[in-house]
């Protein structure tokens, strides 16, 4: 299938993203000198920006690719939670699935960038304890209520506590019953909860961690590693992302490798979100093939050209169509 045909196939798909919502904040400035107080750069601030991150960025990527997306996640009752909810509305996602938990801080990453693209510092504000009680039940209930009206569920699991083991296992079980593929980008610590999922995606380091590879995962080992992960985890498909090298995949039809798109990289932040968003929409269209990963490589190649967490623009998608009719 051509990449243009794949882009057409994922248009209008209905998706549910359940996971860890974050606010990505950027402080831009210019490096002026080294401080006399300590051996650190002095940054003269020129501007700020705040955008939805993590699960919210995955959802924003799906929307940019033409999908209709619902989001379920947890934020605090703090100003960052208000800002994130407003950013979701501004992105066209809505905040109806945002659950407020007064016992938590909203997950927030603040990055200081000097001279447009050089990241000097990142400050994380977060609570990683799993949600419990009424909040956990609210996540499950809102996700299950959306299940009948979507084509795919993407669990965006950053281990920040919004998706518990019970929530994951319930969604996988109910998704299987309903014939809705459950796709996830989990961390190694929660992988056992995803048995029977349609697809899980890990990066090179996460795959090496789970498989206990002391020397890391080499490119030439990636296809075998993806197949081994598929067997051990009991899932239908596995994708292992390899950064600038590309991606390896394993499924019922075998394994394959797709190289990355060679571009000038400004910022890799959020590229994994773009990859999993693209692949999940392919699963919603009931396709998993080499060309789907080629499309994911193209969309990720578009966002790493931008500074900060980003999504493919209409111009990016038009360029992908023109190169791959």
Q: What positions carry a catalytic annotation?
A: 273
Q: Enumerate residues 6+ apart whose C-beta is below 8 A from 168.
A: 155, 157, 184, 190, 193, 194
Residue 282: name the closest of 65, 64, 59, 71 by CA.
65
Residues 133, 64: Cα–Cα separation, whole Å: 34
**Contact indicator for 21, 107 with CB cutoff of 8 Å:** yes
Residues 46, 114: Cα–Cα separation, whole Å: 10
What are the counts of helices (DSSP H) followed by strands (DSSP E) for the chain? 10, 13
Residues 154, 19: Cα–Cα separation, whole Å: 8
- Map tokens 């994994």 to a residue: 272
Phi first, then psi: give them for residue 25, nearest 5 degrees: -105, 140
Strands 182-184 and 246-251: unpaired
Residues 136, 167: Cα–Cα separation, whole Å: 7
Name the helix (H) or strand (E) containing 205.
Answer: helix 204-210
């Amino acid at each position: 299938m051509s990449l243009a045909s794949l882009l057409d196939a994922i248009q209008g798909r209905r998706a549910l993203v359940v996971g860890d919502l974050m606010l990505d904040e950027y402080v831009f400035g210019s490096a002026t000198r080294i401080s006399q107080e300590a051996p650190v750069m002095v940054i003269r601030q020129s501007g700020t920006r705040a955008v939805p991150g993590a699960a919210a960025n995955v959802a924003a990527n799906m929307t940019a690719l033409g999908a209709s997306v619902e989001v379920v996640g947890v934020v605090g009752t703090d100003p960052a939670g208000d800002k994130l909810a407003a950013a979701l509305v501004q992105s066209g996602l809505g905040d109806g699935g945002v659950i407020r938990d007064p016992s938590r801080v909203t997950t927030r990453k603040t990055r200081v960038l000097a001279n447009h693209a050089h990241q000097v510092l990142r400050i994380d504000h977060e609570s990683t304890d799993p949600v419990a009680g009424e909040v956990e039940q609210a996540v499950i209930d809102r996700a299950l209520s959306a299940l009948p009206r979507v084509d795919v569920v993407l669990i965006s699991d950053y281990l920040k506590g919004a998706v518990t083991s019970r929530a994951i296992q319930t969604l996988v079980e109910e998704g299987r019953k309903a014939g809705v593929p459950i796709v996830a980008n989990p961390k190694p610590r929660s992988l056992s909860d995803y048995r029977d999922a349609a697809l899980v995606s890990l990066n090179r380091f996460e795959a090496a961690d789970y498989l206990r590879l002391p020397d890391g995962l080499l490119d030439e080992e990636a296809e075998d590693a993806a197949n081994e992960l598929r067997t051990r985890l009991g899932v239908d498909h596995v994708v292992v992302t390899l950064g600038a090298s590309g991606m390896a995949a394993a499924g019922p039809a075998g394994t394959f490798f797709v190289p990355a798109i060679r571009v000038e990289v400004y910022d890799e932040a959020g590229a994994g979100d773009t990859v999993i968003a693209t692949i999940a929409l392919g699963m919603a269209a009931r396709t998993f093939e080499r060309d789907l990963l080629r499309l994911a490589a193209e969309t990720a190649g578009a966002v790493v050209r931008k500074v900060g967490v980003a999504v493919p623009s209409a111009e990016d998608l038009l360029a992908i169509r023109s190169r791959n009719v």
